[in-house]
Amino acid sequence: MESITDEASFLEMLDVLNERLIAKGEEAVVFDHDCREGICGTCSLMINGQAHGPQRATTTCQLHMRSFKSNDTIVIEPWRAGAFPIIKDLMVDRSSFDRIVEAGGFITSPTGGAPDANLIPVPKPVADASMDAAACIGCGACVAACPNGAANLFVGAKISHLNLLPQGQAERYKRAEAMVDTMDEHFGSCTNHGECSAACPKEISLDVIALMNKDYRSAKFKNRKELSRN
């Protein structure tokens, strides 16, 4: 494309492309976008075979054209994942993520309002770890980058965010079991490639997968103990 400045974002480049297509009476390219600030997790493109493109810790909407050389050929694809069926062009359906969150990504204990935030003391290392996990924006880059199409980093982040906090203890093991079982219905198995964390724009650590696996095993062990009592 001609006349695209280095300062334009990748999505602005697609906007210009669509304007030119529409001006010629052709159909615009469909792609997901919303906040364009790297917060909402809506943008989801494979760019030259990399989730979100060549810049580490960067969402597609934060990627700028200065990351590419003049006259470079750029290959743009939708997320590569069987669990994310293509709706049209570059837009995919990520409702499989929603089903995982619906299975257990919540707490039932009253948390009060903002003035009550400090009533339950939380050690700083625990709070920091929970906040790091909560940074997940649910974009799906981890799944798209994984050769198996696994969602363990996403699910591990959503579980760790709640399971580390005192408010999340009531459903801790049921949450892990329900969310992992739902994940297994839609996504591939993790074989420890580590591509998920490398592709994550929020640099979620693989530690969340370790915590998820630990709590999931504990949940299954508790179930066996309860069954043996009956």
- Residues 179-188 have a mean pLDDT of 98
Give me the DSSP letters along 57-71.
T--GGG-BGGGS-TT
* pLDDT at site 228: 58
- Mean pLDDT score of the chain, rounded to an integer? 94
Q: How far apart are CA 72 and CA 11, in angstroms?
A: 17
Q: List the 50-51 sheet strands across, edge first.
A: 50-51, 45-47, 76-78
Element containing residue 218 per DSSP (H, E): helix 207-229
Asked if residue 211 lies in contact with residue 156, where contact means CB atoms within 8 angstroms, the answer is yes
The answer on pLDDT for 202 being more than 70 is yes
Look up residue 32 and give its two tokens.
């997901």
Maximum C-alpha span of the chain:
73
CA pair distance 84, 79, nearest whole angstrom: 7
> Would you place residue 2 in the very low, low, confident or very high pLDDT band (cuts 50, 70, 90)?
confident
| 3-state SS class at 51 | strand
Q: Where in the chain is CATH 1.10.1060.10? A: 94-229
230 has pLDDT over 60: no
Kindly report the CA angle at 164 between 125 and 134, in degrees rounded to 5?
85
| Overall average pLDDT of the 20-49 stretch | 97
pLDDT at position 116, please? 75
Provide mean pLDDT across the span 35-46: 96
The predicted pLDDT at position 143 comes to 98
What DSSP state is assigned to residue 195?
A: H
Average pLDDT over residues 27-53: 97
Classify 143 as helix, strand or coil: helix
Query: What torsion do the CA atoms of 113, 118, 120, 123 make, to the nearest 10 degrees?
Result: 140
Q: What is the per-residue DSSP string for 79-122?
A: ---TTS-EEETTEE--HHHHHHHHHH----S----GGGTTSS--
More confident residue, 116 or 186: 186
Q: Which CATH number fits domain 10-78: 3.40.50.970, 3.10.20.30, 3.40.630.30, 3.60.70.12?
A: 3.10.20.30
What residue spans of 10-78 are helical by DSSP H?
A: 10-23
pLDDT at 227: 56
Q: Tell me the HSE value of 86 on the side-chain side, using a 13 A CA sphere.
A: 10
Q: Could you tell me which residues are beta bridge partners of residue 91? A: 88
Q: Is the C-alpha dihedral spanning 185, 103, 33, 133 positive or negative?
A: negative
Domain with CATH 3.10.20.30 in the chain: 10-78
Q: pLDDT (tens digit, 9 = 90+) per residue, 167-182?
A: 999 999 999 999 999 9
Quick one: pLDDT band at residue 11, thresholds 50, 70, 90?
A: very high
For residue 226, what pLDDT band results from cuts at 50, 70 and 90? low
Which CATH number describes the domain made up of 94-229?
1.10.1060.10
* Integer angstrom CA distances of residue 23 from 9, 19, 33, 160: 21, 6, 21, 48
pLDDT at 162: 97
Query: What is the SS3 assignment for 211?
Result: helix
pLDDT tens for 74-131 read 999 999 999 999 999 999 999 999 999 999 999 988 777 777 777 888 999 999 999 9
